[in-house]
Structures are given as C-alpha cells and as structure tokens.
Amino acid sequence: GAVVSQHPSWVICKSGTSVKIECRSLDFQATTMFWYRQFPKQSLMLMATSNEGSKATYEQGVEKDKFLINHASLTLSTLTVTSAHPEDSSFYICSASTIAGGLVLDEQYFGPGTRLTVT
C-alpha cells in the first residue's frame, strides 16, 4: 500500500519550453502533496506544499509563477516548470500524505522522482 508514482521518470526539454510532471497516489487519497528538488550530492529541498483544492504554499525563494502546482484531485498533483532553463535541471521528487495539516507521524510517501534535463 501507499504507492506514489511519477511521470515521466525522466525528461529532456529545450530551454524556454514548459514541462509538466505528474504525481499520483495509486492506492490512497492524498490530501497533501509535497514537491522537492534535489541537486546532485545535495539534500532534498522542499519547494512547495499543496492541499487538494487549495493553492500551493511555496517555500521561500521558490518562484510560484515558474513552478506551477495543481492539486485538482485527491490522487493527482502536477508540477509545471514554465520557461525552463538549464539551471532548472534537477531531480524532482513528490511525496504524498493522507492527513491534511498536522500529521501524527509526519510520514510522507515518496514517488521515485523525475529527472529533468534542460538543454
């Protein structure tokens, strides 16, 4: 149980184009989803938190107009990197939890990640 998938697993796009990454909870309803970014040999950095049906909450320094997050259903959240540039190349990881707001254990279920390369 508690499986989270991401699509695509890797994507190459040209500079200036937009790319959408999907995150799905396969066997549970995710009231809250998180998007992380990880650069090589660095830690996962939380980009934003989204609750189903609400606007995402972005971490300081993350441009909300560049990283569009939609959490339209309890099983799907999307991250769109708009006007991508080479510095956006990274590993994007989503996670999902089943409890909105404060979590008893703060447990999140993670997707396998999406490798984005912008040329």
Partner 1 sequence: GEDVEQSLFLSVREGDSSVINCTYTDSSSTYLYWYKQEPGAGLQLLTYIFSNMDMKQDQRLTVLLNKKDKHLSLRIADTQTGDSAIYFCAESIGDYKLSFGAGTTVTVRA
Binding site residues, partner 1, CB under 8 A: 4, 9, 32, 36, 41-46, 49, 93, 95, 97, 101-103, 105-113
The separation between CA 1 and the C-alpha centre of its own chain, rounded to angstroms, equals 20
Provide, rounded to whole angstroms, the least separation between the CB of residue 45 and partner 1. 8
DSSP state of 9: S
The values of phi and psi at residue 27, to 5°, are -135, 20
Provide, rounded to whole angstroms, the least separation between the CB of residue 21 and partner 1. 14
- Decide whether 25 or 78 has the Cβ nearer to partner 1: 25
| Cα(12)–Cα(108) distance, integer angstroms | 28
- Decide whether 82 or 115 has the Cβ nearer to partner 1: 115
Q: Which of 76, 70, 66 is nearest to 118 (CA)?
A: 66
Provide, rounded to whole angstroms, the least separation between the CB of residue 83 and partner 1. 28
